[in-house]
Chains A and B, each alone.
Chain A
């Protein structure tokens, strides 16, 4: 380590602004922006640290670099060239972040962290820097015909008509992993159109360093499914509404609250009302502010049990559980403890990633608690 500090004042540099002339005097090189990040978004952070207590990765490490504020400081260093593209901390932190956006609702300055992490990965993960394991996934969802193929194998919902909507979006992962969800959804709201050729919403791309492709996919999907798009995946909902605009997108719980449900009979377990907890979808809650709706619906059919950290990420985080399985499990562990200690019968999810994550986690612990998508829970109550 070399650190011969001779000119003390030269060490004090302004974070970004070349305009702070006095700083530029002493700092020698004026700091130039590289244009990796949207300046207005990056500048917005006031470094107050209010986001630290909400960040799951900071909770694991207690190290500033794994916190939202620390990551923004790192992004600023990347933007001004103070740290190089191949700095190991930059590479590690861009990937260690769950992208859960728990840091957004608590931010007094309204920093859109989700936008920043997408721009960061877009820059950092160009070419062969992208984690190996995401590449086949992205390839898989990139072409619509591949789903057509999948649909003949898995039995998700399908309609032949082609209308102006409202359309039920068949999320790429959900249609393969949990095809039942879309089928039940159409039983709840038969007017929903489930056209087979839809394409991918592009959230996976946007979160994994292909921001422009991610937006393009969303726009294409928006053209194929004109009018209102209803989705059962919180992650897709948030990305679509970012690109297509909030009014065109409705997440299932919003839609059901507005349009109503078929008659529901309360679910009973051992003669009492079923005890049901919910695990929020991060992007749905933090990005779109939707979390009351699902609770309202659950209360109609069961006793709602609020988990203390229902709004905290489960570690699925899109492709995170595949790319960083160990960290994903570290984030998940305290959540499973909470679920197992809550004395519940079901835990409800509103996103397929969370569904897979909780099912795998609870199975590993031999727990009898069942994981259901909100649509499946309501479907049971509607039978």
Chain B
């Protein structure tokens, strides 16, 4: 992941008083709070926490603590504020923007010991969970009660619900179901100064005060530590079916996507692969894809069987009308699952091409996807890079993925520069620098281009209101 447009993997810092001042006294105090066996501080023990799923970013913390309760979280934060030591909350460390890399050292606070599903209510259609519960654990527990936890990031088997909320994670169902923020009803959160707040609650309607729940959703661990989440659930759709269509070009596929939506269908799945992805997936998984096609579009819906069948037919008809070369509609659930394999294999296939895979994230308005992918291809060619693009056609969220060999001269620097241009291209098209992977340390250098100086300043003031000493995840949002 590139870190700044000038080509440096260093993170630009403002002058900030918070540095890590971890000494024996702090260690002893932390041990008194969480217990000696839940504090790590030797070089080897802390090293595994120096990175997350972001390539090219790494920085070791001084201490790692594993609190088990809200009270322990609060006590650790009070100590840290008092001593001016950075604290970086961490779930599974699966984020892709260096959000958990402790760029200024200090304390990593791992929340995976807090992994209770407190409640699942079919009557109220909600769940209450601790932050360390994984997305898949919650989804499975909900499914066992006939309920759906809608946010489904690709990392669901490992990512935590706390991390999902802190990143406002998206997934494959964004267009029809929205993203994490559409489901968070209430939060328990601990401020850097140790106060425990409850924002929102079990209510769908509640306008008492600023919407702090939404502000905290996507705050990337910079405003508070989330210790409990109340999230909305939905009734489980009865069935889900998928179809696949090949087009001569992405522009054709783009017109089909627009057509599907103006036809009045809001599909649960609308994913695309560009030609380079199709080739890579086919080489890897031998699924029998048409590798000469310019684009592959997966379309699908869920709900009552007759509605789903009808919607799939309408989508298939629209694809045909827009010049699809070949269309298959999965007649049964198993068949549909098999069709989705092409999308699931995208990352595995691409990551096998070269030693280093840089999975990026940018969003443009839906009608401009094809135009954007063209721009990405031009940029890639200019920098002599392999960048394949797949993504969520329904919500304009693209994942251009660069496959490089870092030993190959200045490849890593070329990737940084290329993606700098990709983000600028997205902004030029009224898009954004990240649709779902977040800002973290990796995209902070690009944030001002998206938000402007006034909003950046406001972000800093908001941050200061929540965290006056600036200890929570410094060097990221609000820094």
Contacts and interface: CB of A to CB of B under 8 A. Distances in A.
Nearest to A9: B10
B412 A17 contact: yes
Contacts of B412: 14, 17, 19-21
Contact of A62 (B10, B66, B441): B66
Interface in B1-54: 3, 7-13, 19-24, 27, 40-45, 47-54
A153 interface: no
A34 to B, nearest CB: 15
B348 A110 contact: yes
Contacts of A16: 406
Contacts of A71: 48
A14 B56 contact: yes
A1 B406 contact: no
Contacts of B55: 15, 46-47
Given A12-B11, A43-B406, A50 B158 contact: yes
Interface residues of B, number: 72
A21 to B, nearest CB: 6
A1 B24 contact: yes
A19 B44 contact: no
Interface string B206-239: 0000000000000000000000000000000000
Contacts of B60: 11
B158 A49 contact: yes
Contacts of B59: 11-13
A3 B406 contact: no
B363 interface: no
Contact of A49 (B93, B347, B411): B93
B369 to A, nearest CB: 24
A64 interface: yes
B56 A15 contact: yes
B408 interface: yes
A19 B355 contact: no
Interface in B404-452: 406-413, 416, 441
A264 B50 CA distance: 57
Contacts of B157: 50, 53
Given A23-B56, A82-B47, A12 B27 contact: no
A74 B48 contact: yes
B284 to A, nearest CB: 9
A26 B7 CA distance: 12
A149 interface: no
Contacts of B27: 1
A150 to B, nearest CB: 41
B419 to A, nearest CB: 14
A83 B44 contact: yes
A269 interface: no
Contact of A109 (B11, B351, B413): B351
B62 interface: yes
Given A1-B23, A9-B11, A64-B93, A89 B355 contact: no
A52 B10 contact: no
Interface stretch (B69-77, B98-106, B141-149, B322-330): B98-106
A26 B51 contact: no
Interface string A60-84: 0011110101110110010000110
B394 interface: no
A47 B12 CA distance: 24
A11 B103 contact: yes
A109 B104 contact: no
A19 B410 contact: yes
A13 B58 contact: yes
Nearest to A71: B48
Interface string A27-65: 000000000000110011011111011000000001111
Contact of A64 (B3, B8, B48): B48
A17 B19 contact: no
A22 interface: yes
Contacts of A46: 53, 55, 351, 357, 359
Given A108-B348, A110-B352, A12 B47 contact: no
A271 interface: no
B249 interface: no
Contacts of A89: 42-45, 47
A11 B58 CA distance: 8
Given A3-B105, A15-B51, A110-B348, A43 B355 contact: yes
B257 interface: no
A383 interface: no
A50 B93 contact: no
B44 A20 contact: no
A73 B48 contact: yes
B475 interface: yes
Contacts of B113: 62
A157 B40 CA distance: 53
Nearest to A58: B112
Interface string B244-267: 000000000000000000000000
A159 to B, nearest CB: 42
Given A11-B60, A64-B48, A108 B347 contact: yes
B94 interface: yes
Interface of A: 1, 3-6, 8-9, 11-17, 19-23, 25-26, 39-40, 43-44, 46-50, 52-53, 62-65, 67, 69-71, 73-74, 77, 82-83, 87-90, 93, 108-110
Interface of B: 3, 7-13, 19-24, 27, 40-45, 47-60, 62-63, 66, 92-94, 101, 103-105, 110, 112-113, 134, 136, 155, 157-158, 347-348, 351-352, 355-357, 359, 406-413, 416, 441, 475
7 contacts: A14-B56, A14-B412, A20-B406, A21-B410, A22-B416, A62-B66, A74-B48
| Ranked 4 nearest A-B pairs via Cβ | A89-B44, A70-B48, A17-B406, A9-B10
Given A12-B59, A23-B9, A74-B47, 8 more contacts: A20-B406, A22-B7, A22-B8, A46-B351, A49-B94, A53-B134, A53-B158, A77-B47
